[in-house]
Structure 1
Amino acid sequence: MSESVVIGAVIIARHGDRQEFYQDPDTYAVTSTEITPLGEAQEWQLGNLLRSIYLNATSPSYIMDIAPYTSTFDGTQVEVYADNSGTDEVIMDSCAAAVQGMWQATTAENITLANGTTITSPLGGYQYVPINAVDPDTDLSLEGTTDCTAFSQRTESFYNSSMFAEKAKESAAFLDELSPYVGGRSVELSNMWNIYDYMNVQSVHNATYTLPAAYLEQAFTLASWHEYNVFSDSSFTGVGNIAFQTMLPGVLSSFQRIANSSDPLKLSYYEVSYKPFMSLFNMTGVNNAGVPAALVDYASSIVLEVRQSESSTEPLIRFQFKNGSADANFTRYSMSFSGWNGASGADVPLSTFLTAFEPAAINTTLQWCNVCGQTTERGCATALAAADYANGSGARHQKITPVGAGFLGAGLTAAVFLMALGVLLLLGVLTLGAGRFRRRRSVAAAEKRDTKLRGDELELHSEANSLAQAQV
């Protein structure tokens, strides 16, 4: 295969280092936490590396026709999204640091005024890169597992499985030894993520915290086993993969837009938690090519490059991965999934990728509600009610009779008058005298309130009559 060129990229990155927090082992509901300066530095360094690879016009992986880093940020070519859970700002802050690394301050960010004065943006030409904050209450794409009943049920089934029981028995002695080192947390295997997270955060940030040799590594291995089994699935479209399934519509749309030469989009960037990584690894089959079935480090990143080769009539997708600060550079891995066994080469034709992954994508809130068995949370009550109406329940309502239509017409006339009156009040053409009424109430005797109210009503009628006469 001849060498290809990069025409676009979809980047998925994990947030940077943070303080400890707790996840419910059953529902994965989380508590609040904060990013650290270390986490901000990790994300900036990731952004700087991505800048050198994809925004550097002299790099072999430079994205064709994207504004190079020697110029200024072009918002028509880039879309940035970050999970904004509302619990904390770790992911949003991480994203801000990463895009600062990619689009750094430049004196080219300036304007010359009519009087000849040149003004450079603050902080030496800081570039303000827009970040789309994805609120999980209104957008499911970056948090597919939250409030997903079927996902929680699958997690419970995993905890009740013979595989889990065997692993719990195998690790029982080690878990018992961890009691003095986990800050009072339960040392049950089901709580393994919280155990490891506490140990890891303390090891990084608490100089007085010490662990026996290899304890942190063993805890990481168990936590990785635990999380990978929760956030993956033996079925390609299984709910265990939902953390990436809800991201798929955006990812696939980005591929198609990048492949469309009339669309200016060149790069889509997503800042997320560790969970979609595991589902993505599982679905793309890169674990078979050497990507560990394990937790990814802070500031890890996947780049799905969209490439064009002279030997291919369509764009190709290439998988690149960097596991946090431990890896200096990105490594290319072959994907394997239904319709693509990985033996034909590392780069997958776009049509092959779309054919395999489009059926697994969760495209709408209604689809998510049905997959998850959710009826109330995250907009499901509204989505299901709308679907029920669209499917014919609305047709079961009685038709409006001529008499009813007459009443409806009269009601609409009254409603239109009231709306017009409201607009006039809003614009100040009419006034209810509310301000004057409140002032008079503060000094008037209680027994005179009715009289004053009638006076205000007379003011309204008088002003309305004056307006009507003026319009005649």
Structure 2
Amino acid sequence: MAASNDTVLGVLVFTRHGDRQGFYQDPTSYTTTTPTIITPLGTAQEFQLGQLLRSTYFNASSPSFVSGVNGTLVNQTQIHVRADAGGELGVIYDSAVALLQGLFPANADYKSALANGTTVEGALAGYQYVPIESVEPTNDVSLEGYTSCNPFNDWTNAFYTTPEFLQKANDSAHFLTLLPPFLDNRPVTLQNIYNIFDFMLVNSVHNSDFAKALPPTFLEQARALANFHEYGIFTSPQLNGIGNIAGRTILPVMIQELQSIADPTNPLKLAYQSLAYKPFMSLFNMTGAAQQSPQLAGIVNYAAAVALEVREPSGGGSAVLRLRFKNGTDDQFTTYNFLGQTGDVPLQSFIDFVNPALINSTADWCTVCNNTQDRGCGAIAAAAAQANAAAINGIGHHHQRISPVGAGFLGAGLTIAVMLGMFGVLAFLGLITLGKGPSKARSAKA
């Protein structure tokens, strides 16, 4: 472990959403088929997590205090927030709103003097508003790379035929026969175990009659089976395996943010991403953290949080990473080893290790996922066809490489490219660049 007087240059935090109502997701494609919303408990969990992050990283007396951060009033150049706006609808975005309220509470100093001599305090007793980049899966693959991905669906179905899965299904068969009275007609199969566990968990928290009727060991037995199921789906033994796709698509943005934090000319101090549970498992697997700490090989709890601290060693030298994890409201931040090492890991070593597996662009994702229609892939195919046609007709003069910046998603640049292509002047994918533009940036109170 690095010395305690290291300088914390900044931190990348990603969290799971808070408590929500139940929902149902297809056990092969992982598309959501029922709506859900965050609960008051969920907002309280995220708010408390925000308060903890504040005391950990914005308190000058904390050993993890981020050097140079303004933790009093929001400096929007120092913070970047992204929230998944996909499969669990507004739950993940609303979790980010609640967390930011704890991270940047209302402050009476949020006020301004007007030309007429009066002073106006911000709304809601000085509440601070932090922009949240709403990441829409239809035009940004970075946070939900696993949906609409044909090889991933094949991977899921193949997992259900493995000897390991078949043995687990046989071992759990008797337990599953005991569950129908508690499941409101849900299919009782090991393939459907996540939905079974989710239903039991939600009702154990919010339905007193259900909580009293459920035998005391059933929830934990279902959780253990769901952990086996989801970890088997969202990880691969090979770094670039399709089971790791949730990590392979989110890592380019993470790396960009970590590099920005380590760059002394960049003001970024805190990068925060609000997520579903799937990327946690892929990332723990890809970094080897779950292999070194097997308790990480499963579904993280509501309001779980990973903090990747970017540190400057006390003796100088290149930036290093420290991995800390808190598994829900009843846990504390604990430091974990990763990449097969003990202690902090050089940032560049982390980047070099995961780089071969990265999916850096929507075009890359379309190729990996064998998709020519969804999530921008149809537009890419159309633009390519237009560009090829232009080249054949002597209009296109060169090919320009897609820039692998950020998470690999499409925005206004793609729309312009397709429009120009329709008029016969699109250079082959030349206007598709990757960055933050396509997601909807909303301002939410913090």
Measured after TM superposition, the shift of residue 381 of structure 1 is 1.3
Is 1:334 the counterpart of 2:337 in the alignment? yes
Q: Which runs of 5+ in 1 are unaligned?
A: 401-414, 416-472
Q: Which residue of 1 aligns with 2:360?
A: 363
Amino acid aligned to 1:15: H
Measured after TM superposition, the shift of residue 294 of structure 1 is 1.3
SS at match of 1:377: coil
2:50–2:99 contact (8 Å) kept in structure 1: yes
What is the alpha-carbon distance in structure 1 between the residues aligned to residue 225 and residue 88 of structure 2? 27
Q: Deviation per CA, 1:281-321: give whole Å up to 9, x if none.
A: 10111113324311110000000110001335100011000
Amino acid aligned to 1:32: P
2:106–2:126 contact (8 Å) kept in structure 1: yes
Q: Which residue of 2 aligns with 1:304?
A: 308
Q: Deviation per CA, 1:416-454: give whole Å up to 9, x if none.
A: xxxxxxxxxxxxxxxxxxxxxxxxxxxxxxxxxxxxxxx
Measured after TM superposition, the shift of residue 384 of structure 1 is 2.9
Amino acid aligned to 2:358: A
Q: Deviation per CA, 1:194-218: give whole Å up to 9, x if none.
A: 0000001110000111211201000
Is 1:260 the counterpart of 2:263 in the alignment? yes
Alignment of 1:24-43 (within 5 A): 24-30=26-32, 31-43=34-46
Change (3 A) 1:138 1:214: same
Amino acid aligned to 1:136: P
Alignment of 1:286-297 (within 5 A): 286-290=289-293, 291-297=295-301
What is the alpha-carbon distance in structure 1 between the residues aligned to residue 88 and residue 227 of structure 2? 24
1:91–1:271 contact (8 Å) kept in structure 2: yes
Q: Which residue of 2 aligns with 1:372?
A: 369
What is the alpha-carbon distance in structure 2 between the residues aligned to residue 173 and residue 358 of structure 1? 44
Q: Which residue of 1 aligns with 2:391?
A: 395
Question: What is the count of residue pairs matched by the alignment?
Answer: 391
Q: Deviation per CA, 1:32-90: give whole Å up to 9, x if none.
A: 1010000000000000000000111221111110102xx21000010000011276210
2:285–2:291 contact (8 Å) kept in structure 1: no
What is the alpha-carbon distance in structure 2 between the residues aligned to residue 104 and residue 80 of structure 1? 16
**Higher-Rg member (1/2):** 1
Is 1:195 the counterpart of 2:229 in the alignment? no
What is the alpha-carbon distance in structure 2 between the residues aligned to residue 184 and residue 73 of structure 1? 49
Amino acid aligned to 2:68: D
Identical aligned residues as a percent:
46
Measured after TM superposition, the shift of residue 278 of structure 1 is 0.5
Q: Which residue of 1 aligns with 2:400?
A: none
Is 1:124 the counterpart of 2:125 in the alignment? yes
Measured after TM superposition, the shift of residue 13 of structure 1 is 0.4
Measured after TM superposition, the shift of residue 388 of structure 1 is 5.3
Is 1:166 the counterpart of 2:174 in the alignment? no
**Greater relative contact order: 1 or 2 (C-alpha under 8 angstroms, separation 6 or more)?**
2
2:31–2:87 contact (8 Å) kept in structure 1: no
Alignment of 1:33-432 (within 5 A): 33-68=36-71, 71-85=72-86, 88-209=89-210, 210-290=213-293, 291-327=295-331, 329-336=332-339, 341-342=340-341, 345-387=342-384, 392=388, 394-397=390-393
1:289–1:334 contact (8 Å) kept in structure 2: yes
What is the alpha-carbon distance in structure 2 between the residues aligned to residue 15 and residue 29 of structure 1? 17
TM-score between the two structures when normalised by the length of structure 1: 0.80
TM-score between the two structures when normalised by the length of structure 2: 0.85
Measured on the aligned residues, the alpha-carbon RMSD in Å equals 1.7
1:302–1:320 contact (8 Å) kept in structure 2: yes
Q: Which runs of 5+ in 2 are unaligned?
A: 397-422, 424-446
What is the alpha-carbon distance in structure 1 between the residues aligned to residue 262 and residue 216 of structure 2? 51
Amino acid aligned to 1:5: T
Q: If each structure's helix is expressed as a fraction of its own residues, which one has the higher value?
A: 1
